[in-house]
């Protein structure tokens, strides 16, 4: 702030913001590197990885399944309405399966887990930080990167593709439900068209995205949690920031990867 009561210099204000932003990005990159190094080198804490796979993967099944069925259903309905305008409604099964496997299965799973898992991790790690449990881990010779962050990272990277596979199947089923029971498609033809149009490449694209989303989700949760400030406000803020950050990064990474996959012909 300026001393004489004059208006603050807007350039200084923008400059400070930019420097703070780059510093934050730098810290996040260094932190991500440390998490990945701990995750990819032994020793691995298999007990913690197992626990986190259940917490992150298994308990996300209901929310992922429900989201996928509704997205698949809405997608089918919209494609039908759009296709109807130029007599292309028979392409509903093809576009549903393509849209779900390449794009929506992974994105919806990533977004739902950015809410459920990232905020949960940030709140848990944040609470551990403010109650000195992270310091306690260090004094007991347990490295928080190996004991807390790497297991969450690995569990998210392993379970996200599994969840996306489930979302793909249930999402396509959501489209089938609406088409057969709402739009008078023939069930057998719909399924045959879906299976004919389904390719391993499209599914693989979604699964590769899922691994990256898993990394984003776990790292954002751990990062914001581990720099959470004291008190209920600090932990709440960490949870909010992590969730928003993870959701935006999931969408940004999705776009970047989609561009990349299209360019390499996948």
Cis before 182? omega within 30: no
In contact, 179 and 190? CB cutoff 8 Å: yes
Residues in the chain: 266
Residue 90 structure tokens: 């028979």
Is-contact 35 125, C-beta < 8 A? no
Pick between residue 47 and residue 188 the one whose CB is nearest to another protein: 47
Rounded (5°) CA angle 217-220-226:
135
CB of 101 to another protein, least distance (A): 36
Q: Which of 239, 42, 225 shows the shortest CA–CA distance to 149? A: 225
Give the nearest distance from C-beta 114 to another protein in angstroms. 23
Integer Cα distance of 101 and 121 in angstroms: 27
DSSP codes of every residue in 128-177: HHHTTHHHHHHHTT--HIIIIIHHHHHHHHHHHHHHHHHHHHHHHHHHHH
Shortest separation between residue 128's beta carbon and another protein, angstroms: 8
Q: Please, what is the minimum distance in Å from the beta carbon of residue 144 to another protein? A: 11
Give 12 or 230: the residue with its C-beta nearer to another protein: 230
Q: Which is nearer to another protein, 127 or 183 (CB)?
A: 127
* Closer Cβ to another protein, 16 or 138, answer by number: 138
* Residue nearer to another protein on the CB measure, 142 or 158: 142
- Please give the Cα distance from 212 to 237 (Å, whole number): 24
* Shortest separation between residue 133's beta carbon and another protein, angstroms: 5
CA dist list (Å): 203 to 11, 86, 158, 247: 48, 28, 16, 22
Instruction: Kindly tell me which of 75 and 123 has the beta carbon lying closer to another protein.
Output: 123
**CB of residue 159 vs another protein: minimum separation in angstroms?**
19
Minimum distance from residue 41 beta carbon to another protein (Å): 13
**265 Ramachandran zone, left/alpha/beta (phi>0; psi -120 to 50):** left
Positions that interact with another protein (CB under 8 A): 128, 131-133, 135-142, 147
Residue nearer to another protein on the CB measure, 4 or 141: 141
Tokens of 139: 């004094």
């Amino acid at each position: 702030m300026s001393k004489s009561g004059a208006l603050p210099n807007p350039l200084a204000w923008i400059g400070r913001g930019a420097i703070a932003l780059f510093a934050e990005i730098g810290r996040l990159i260094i932190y991500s590197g440390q998490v990945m190094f701990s995750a990819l080198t032994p020793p691995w804490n298999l007990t913690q990885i197992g626990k986190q796979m259940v917490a992150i993967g298994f308990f996300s099944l209901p929310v992922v399944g429900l989201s996928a069925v509704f997205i698949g259903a809405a997608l089918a309905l919209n494609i039908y309405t759009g296709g109807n305008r130029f007599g292309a409604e028979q392409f509903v099964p093809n576009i549903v399966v393509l849209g779900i496997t390449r794009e929506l299965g992974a994105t919806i799973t990533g977004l739902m887990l950015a809410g459920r898992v990232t905020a949960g991790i940030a709140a848990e790690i944040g609470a551990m930080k403010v109650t000195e449990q992270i310091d306690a881990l260090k004094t007991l010779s347990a490295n928080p990167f190996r004991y807390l962050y790497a297991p969450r990272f690995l569990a998210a990277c392993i379970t996200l593709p599994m969840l996306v596979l489930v979302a793909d199947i249930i999402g396509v089923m959501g489209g089938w439900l609406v088409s057969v029971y709402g739009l008078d498609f023939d069930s057998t033809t719909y399924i045959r068209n879906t299976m004919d149009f389904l390719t391993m490449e499209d599914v693989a694209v979604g699964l590769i995205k899922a691994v990256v989303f898993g990394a984003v989700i776990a790292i954002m949760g751990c990062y914001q949690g581990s720099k959470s400030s004291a008190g209920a406000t600090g932990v709440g803020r960490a949870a909010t920031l992590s969730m928003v950050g993870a959701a935006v990064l999931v969408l940004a990474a999705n776009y970047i990867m989609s561009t990349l996959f299209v360019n390499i012909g996948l």
